[in-house]
Each structure stands twice: as structure tokens, then as C-alpha cells.
Amino acid sequence: MNWHRFFHRRRSDAELQEEIRTYLEEETAENVARGMSIQEARRQARVKLGNPQRVREELWKQNTVATIDNLWRDLRYATRTLGRTPGFAAIAILVMALGIGANVALFTVVRSVLFNPLPFPAPNQLIALYGKSGTDNRGTVAAADFYDWQNGSHSFEQMAIWRWTGYNMAGDRNELPEFLQAVTCSWNLFSTLGAQPALGRSFVSTDDTDEASPTVILSWSFFKRRFNADSSIVGKTIRLNSQTYTVVGVFPQSFTYPDPKIQLWVPYHEGVPKVILHSHYSHTSHVIARLSPGVSLSRATQEVSAIQHGIFTRFGGDGPVTPAVVSLPLVQDIVGDAKAPLYILMAAVFCLLLIACLNLSNLLIARAVARRKEMAMRLALGGSRMRLIGQQITESVLICLSGGLLGIVLAAAAVRWLTMYWLDLPRADAIHIDATVLAFAVGITFLAGILSGVLPAMLFTGARVSAALQDSARTLGVSASKASLRKNLLTVEVALTVVLLVGAGLLFKSFLQLGAVDLGCATRNVLTMRYFLRGDSYSKPEQIVSFQTQLLERVRHSPGVAAAGLTDVVPGDGLYGDTTFSIPEHPPQPPEKRDGAVFRTADPGYFQAMQIPLVKGRFFTSSERLNNSNFVIINQKLAREYFPNEDPLGKHLAVSWRSPSPENYEIVGVVGDTRYLLNEPVRSMMWFPILSGIPGATADTALVVRSTTDPATLGIPIQKTIAGIDPDLPVSNVLTMQQVIGKSTANSSFEASLLGAFATLSLLLAAVGLFGVLSYLVAQRTGEIGIRIALGAQREQVLRLMLVDGLRPALIGLALGLVASAAVTRQIQSLLYGTRPLDPTVFGLVSLVLLVVAGAACVIPAWRASRLDPMRALRIE
């Protein structure tokens, strides 16, 4: 009702005027009837009515909702003010949009990835269990350990095990053969997580036994892509590794555990070799579990750890058994390493927004100064302070509101971009803008508006403001205190900018360091591709060796190929596997002191193809194959560490590589160190002959080809060569070595460039702020400078005076920023590579850049001041 009245005030007023007119006429008529003259009658009527304006005002007020009315007026006023300076308004809105947009985007990602519960029922009860030995807190679990845990523990509703695997799928209907990333898991993985199939059924315990016929569950994306979402596939069979598997179910799109790239799930007994299934030594799998209600994480972990300790004691000294168990909530396990960069970026964008707010605040102060007399006058006339503050805040809220709207649009785009280009971002499929995010956006918008508006508003409506009324037009340097406030704001702004610049600088230096790391092998003109020799056609060593040698022969004779070799994993592509070993010639070591080495396979030509130098001894020979293959090549690191004062050649390593119990391998050569990952230190490494042809152990192959020209052009011909030998064999990861390295530097470059962009933006804002404040100061002090010059001050003196005035906040801000950076950079240590958090180069460069930019921003207004014509300056005002 109020509202109705409020919005119909105008009509109501018009009617009232009409009524008043009627009244006057009636009254006049009556007075005339009483015998008055027409003039007197009219006069009397007017006297009787009183002031019609008051009546109108009365009604108008009665119809008005005061707050809305004020707000409306403030809004109109603010719009007009902004409209008068469209350039300022556009820039302010754009800056706010960037700040708010970046915050909303990062908030969306952080919330979805770190804080949203996993898409499973009662996700808080889900945990991941890992082996703990030495400093390794994320040791994968041996299958036999898992079965002991499962049988011996009482803290869990369910416990499940899984490991990464992959299958070759031949094209039955002329499709290309493809390699499918898959998971082999205990039957209860799905029920542990609480996931239900979209079609068919989940695994049951009878699927996960030695005798069960092979079954498979499809992911939704694979089901859609390869089978056109035809639900009749359930119950039918597909061929994986040339073996027949019955499709029992399809899981919905929402289920992507452990990774959206997974296409298939296969029962654990089906997917894992018997040797590994009953081994306490082969640590290959991940374990997840659902806690029983009321059981705490620590109690459950203690229980499992006790079981594991029992196993450790039972096998003590006989092989690599994990001594203890650690656990963590499943969500943390999934989020993993993404946490640190996410938090850092979130902090960075928040800094950016803060800087944007400070800048806006600064600009608004400048504007408020111009209106201080008006404000003082209104206060003196009894205007309420709240009203005046409200009016000033409206302007900044209006800017922020427009910025916020634009920012949400930007954020939507940014979120899309982030999820697309941020490789390895976990839970990327769960990221989306929802109501909470929008609420956050609205909240942060108003916060920004109030933050940037409140300071100027408070300042210019304060009690002392009436002093402004006393200022005469000739008073010089009146608003020194206002200017110093602006300088303080600038100082904070500069300090924040420095922190961002230092952070970005450190990350960028890490990225450069990573790029400069020597992998230990050829990285130019090298093409790699992977394939997996599995299934019936590769169940005997002879079949594998025959394929490999045939392929090598053909590739080596292809045009453009300088050298070719085979391994299982190329340098820089990951750890893949390590195992413990012992040296029969040395006294036995206690199990906890045994160290592991990364294991790799190689053919005789691999090292030359990759230009990995031979330090000592020889490479494998072509006769060292099949059963005559108990030889091993070690890297320098292993030689230095385990054979410090002796010749490793002719000694042996006892390793359980292709068999559950250790076998002796004779060391025939020592080669140069290579890195398994660019940003990890070199580890001990041992190489076994790939031509031993052991199914399983040597089936995973990476073909490397060093070319004489652009390696990428060799991709298609070599794939055709492979198809010429086995048309059903899928080839994956056709990458040049540069691309392999690029994968491991991608995240680091991504983080560095994002933070770099934020830092650049804030530097720009700080520069604009400096320029604005100094220009303002010059304008303020025009008269004073005029007097100085008139009294004989040199231009250089004036220039220096103004420069110092402008640079002081920059210098103080720089000092504060450096101190703050020193305190903060330790937090990003985990993201740094080969760079110390207090890297002097970075700190020095940042200081230099800041000084140059600040100097450039100050020099124009300062120069302008020194060029002032004293006569004109004094005549101003």
C-alpha cells in the first residue's frame, strides 16, 4: 500500500491541486453569496485555506517512503556525476569488473574443488589409506596388504582397492584401435563410494574372483562416444586386449572416480596379475575406505597400521614391506597438490581487488575534496551525517555494482577458461557458477563499494569539516591532511603491488629454472609414442620380442630417422615405478635402510637414440634377450651412492622385477643420469633389457625416434608402420620430447603467467594512482609553486620537490611490500623450483621495476609543475 502510494505521488498531487482549486472556488462563491465583493471573497477564501503549498507538501510527505526516496535521489545524483566524467566512470567500472570477476572466478574454482563435498553419500566418512615408510607419506599399497587389512579390521563399513591400468581395444567394426585408460578395482569400489549404476548393475563379489568370467563397467563418456549411448550394450561383450569382456553396467556421467579420463572399470582379480595379487612387495594400488559410523579417522588408522606392522614383522628382513599406514580424508586425497596454487591465486586476486578499491577510494577522495564546501554547508544547515555519507557511498556502490555485473560475466568466461587450460585441476568437472557463487559476487561487490566509498565519505563529513567553510579562496595548502591520507592509501597500494610482483617473479623464475633443467638426454628432434603389448597375441616372450625387433628394424630404415630405441617410460614423463634392491656382494642391510631405485627397460639402441652417455661398461647387446637377459644397466647416481669406492661392473643387483622373489642381475654398464620428472631431483635408476620380452614387465613400450628433421612429421608414417605389423595395436601419446617436457612445465607456466597478469594489472593501477595523486597535489599547490618560482626557486628545485613528494609513498610502500613479501613468500615455497623464497634477483628486479614505473608516473606532473608560469599560477582562483 505504501508502495502504491509512493509510486503514485505525482498523480495524487495533481488531484490535490484540483481539489484545492475547487475548494477555493466554492469558498469564494459562498463568500460572494454572503455579500462580499469578488476580490474580498477570493481573499477570504485564500486566508481560510492557508498556504496551499504546505497542504501539498504535507500530502507528498505522507505518501513518501523516506529511505527509498533518498536512495533514489542519491542514485540519480551519482549517475549524473559519473555521466559527467564518462572516462573516469568507464575505467573505474572496468577495473572493478576485473577485480570482482577474478575474485568470483577463483572463488568458484576454490569452492568447487576444495570445499564442495564429494558427490557421494556421507562423503565425510570416505578416506584414503597409504603406506608410510621413511619420508614417503603417499606410498601405494600392496594387494596382499590390502586383503589383510580388509579381513582384520573392524573400523570400516567397506574398504576397496584400485590401480591404474589400460586396455587396447581393437576396432570390431573398422574403428581405429584405441588405448583406453582404465581402473582395475575390487568389486566393492562403487558401493564403498555409494555410487549407483545408470544402466545394468555394479560389480558383485563373484565378479572379482580368479574363476569369474571377465566383466567390465563402462564410463558414461565412453558409452556415449563409442557405443552411441545404445543401452543394448549392457549384457553384450566387447574385446579388450583381444579378450572378451561382458559389459555388466554403465555408470552415470557424474561418476568419474578416480579421474574423468577413466573409460572402464575392470574387477581387480581380472586386471591384476596373480603375482601381484598375492604380493606384499608390489606396491601398486590405492586403497579407499568408508569409516563405520562413530569411528574416528585416527582410531581406524591405528587399527590398520597395527595390522600392517604385524605384516612388517612377519616379513621382516625378507623384502620391501611397508612399515606403517597413514590416512587422509578422500577429498584431500583427490584435491592433492592443487590446494597451494589455488589458495595463492585466491589471495592474489583478493589483493588485486583491494588495490582496485584503494584506487577508487583515492579517486573519490579527489572528487570529494572538490565538494568539501558543499558538504560543510549542508552539515552546517543541519543535513544529517548519515545522509551525506550515504550519498557519497552511493557513487562508489554504483561503480562497484556496474563493475560487479560486468565482473560476473567475466567470471563466467574465466571459469570456463580456467577449467579448460588448467591441466590436472582435480574435480574440474564439478566446477560451475551457482547461487552461492552469485551471492558471493553480490557480497563482494557491496563490500568493495562500501570499502572504497566509506573512507572519503567519513572524511568529508567529519566534525572538523566546518573548517572548510572558513577557508578563503586564497588559502594555500589547505587540504594537506587529505593529501596525506591519499598518500597513505597509495603506500598500501604500492606495498600490495610489490607483494604480488614478488610472488609472480618467484614463480616466473621457477618456470625459467624448470625450462633450463637438463633432462640428461636429447630433447630436440625426438618423437615418442606409447603402446602396450597385451592380450593373446603377446602372451609369450617370443611374440613380444618378435614384434619389437621387427618394428625397430622397419623404423630405423624409414626416411628421416636418425636413430630409434625402445623403453617403457621416457625421461621427464613420470616416475611410474620404483622398487627396492639389494647387492649380493655387499653385507645385507636392514629392511628400513634399503633404498629403492626407479626401474626402466631399454633395448640395446635406446641410450644412443636418446643420446644418454655411456659412462662405463657397455650397453645391452642384441644377444641379451629372452632367457639370456639377467643383465642390468645403472645410472651414475646409483653407482655413486651404492658403489662409492668400487667398480660396479660385474657386481649384481638382486631385484624382484619379473618374479615375486628377487633374482640377480649382473651390472654391465653405467649411464648418465636422467630425470624422471623435470622438477624432481635425479634418483637412482636401473635399466632392464626390454628384449627379455617378459609379458607384463616389458609390455609397456615407448618408442623413441630421433629424426634428422622436424620430428612431428614422422608421427603418421611410424604409426602406419606399426599398423602394418599389428593393425589392432593402438598407439597413444604421440608426442615430441619438447611436448613431454611441456606437460611438466605447463602448470608452472600457467601459475606464473596468471599471477604475473594480476601483478601487472596492480602495477598499472598503482601507477595510475601515483599519477593521479601527484597531479592533484600539483593542482592544489599551483599557487604555492607560483609563489616559490616568483620568489626565485629554480625549476629543478620545484621538479625535485614534487618528485620527492610523489615518490615518498612509493618508496615507503616498496619497503613495506618487500618486508611483507619476505614474510609471505615462504607460503609459496611448495610451488617454487630452484628458487629460494627470498631470491635476491627477484626482489631486486621487482624494486627496480616498481621504481621505474613510479618514477614515470610522477615525472609528468612534477615536470608540469616546474614549467608553471608564476604569473598565471598566481592569478588562478
C-beta closer to other proteins: residue 53 or 645: 53
Q: State in angstroms the smallest separation of the CB of 384 from other proteins.
A: 24
C-beta closer to other proteins: residue 20 or 820: 20
Q: Are 600 and 686 contacting, i.e. CB atoms less than 8 angstroms apart? A: yes
C-beta closer to other proteins: residue 63 or 629: 63
Q: Distances from the Cα of 810 to the Cαs of 489, 847, 848, in angstroms?
A: 11, 10, 12
> By three-state DSSP, how is residue 671 classified?
strand
Q: Are 527 and 714 contacting, i.e. CB atoms less than 8 angstroms apart? A: yes
β-partners of residue 529 are: 703
What is the distance between the alpha carbons of residues 680 and 441, in angstroms, rounded to a whole number? 39
C-beta closer to other proteins: residue 20 or 324: 20
Grid cell at residue 779: 593542482
Q: Which amino acid is at 243?
A: Q
Q: State in angstroms the smallest separation of the CB of 37 from other proteins.
A: 18
Q: State in angstroms the smallest separation of the CB of 30 from other proteins.
A: 8
Grid cell at residue 567: 623403453
Q: State in angstroms the smallest separation of the CB of 12 from other proteins.
A: 6
C-beta closer to other proteins: residue 58 or 710: 58
C-beta closer to other proteins: residue 46 or 371: 46
Q: State in angstroms the smallest separation of the CB of 254 from other proteins.
A: 55
C-beta closer to other proteins: residue 16 or 295: 16
Please state the length of the chain.
877
C-beta closer to other proteins: residue 58 or 259: 58
C-beta closer to other proteins: residue 26 or 663: 26
If you write DSSP's letter for every residue of 71-139 in order, what string do you get?
Answer: HHHHHHHHHHHHHHSHHHHHHHHHHHHHHHHHHHHHHHHHIIIIISPPSSSSGGGEEEEEEEETTEEEE
Widest Cα–Cα separation across the chain: 142
By the 10 Å C-beta count (0-12 exposed, 13-18 middle, 19+ buried), 872 is classed as: exposed
Q: Which amino acid is at 429?
A: D
Q: Tell whether omega for the bond before 613 is within 30 degrees of 0, i.e. cis.
A: no
C-beta closer to other proteins: residue 62 or 436: 62
Q: Distances from the Cα of 474 to the Cαs of 139, 466, 610, 877, in angstroms?
A: 78, 17, 81, 7
Residues in contact with 587: Cβ distance below 8 Å, sequence separation at least 6, in sequence order: none
The site for other proteins (CB under 8 A) is made up of 1, 5, 12, 15-16, 18-20, 22-23, 25-27, 29, 48-52, 54-55, 58-59, 62-63
Q: State in angstroms the smallest separation of the CB of 49 from other proteins.
A: 5
C-beta closer to other proteins: residue 25 or 647: 25
Q: Are 12 and 58 contacting, i.e. CB atoms less than 8 angstroms apart? A: no
C-beta closer to other proteins: residue 19 or 647: 19
Q: In 228-338, where does DSSP find H-type helix?
A: 268-271, 274-277, 297-315, 330-335
Q: State in angstroms the smallest separation of the CB of 488 from other proteins.
A: 52
Q: State in angstroms the smallest separation of the CB of 9 from other proteins.
A: 11
By the 10 Å C-beta count (0-12 exposed, 13-18 middle, 19+ buried), 551 is classed as: buried
Q: State in angstroms the smallest separation of the CB of 361 from other proteins.
A: 44
Q: State in angstroms the smallest separation of the CB of 68 from other proteins.
A: 17
Q: State in angstroms the smallest separation of the CB of 66 from other proteins.
A: 16
C-beta closer to other proteins: residue 62 or 206: 62
Q: State in angstroms the smallest separation of the CB of 452 from other proteins.
A: 41
Q: Are 159 and 125 contacting, i.e. CB atoms less than 8 angstroms apart? A: no
Which value, in Å, is the radius of gyration of the alpha carbons in the chain? 38
The residue assigned the cell 560486468 is 406
Q: State in angstroms the smallest separation of the CB of 50 from other proteins.
A: 6
Residues in contact with 732: Cβ distance below 8 Å, sequence separation at least 6, in sequence order: 178, 179, 529, 530, 531
Q: State in angstroms the smallest separation of the CB of 38 from other proteins.
A: 15
Q: State in angstroms the smallest separation of the CB of 46 from other proteins.
A: 11
By the 10 Å C-beta count (0-12 exposed, 13-18 middle, 19+ buried), 271 is classed as: buried
C-beta closer to other proteins: residue 20 or 562: 20
What is the distance between the alpha carbons of residues 820 and 684, in angstroms, rounded to a whole number? 40
Backbone conformation region of residue 834, classed left if phi is above 0, alpha if psi is from -120 to 50, else beta:
left
Q: Are 624 and 689 contacting, i.e. CB atoms less than 8 angstroms apart? A: yes
C-beta closer to other proteins: residue 49 or 412: 49
What is the distance between the alpha carbons of residues 686 and 567, in angstroms, rounded to a whole number? 12
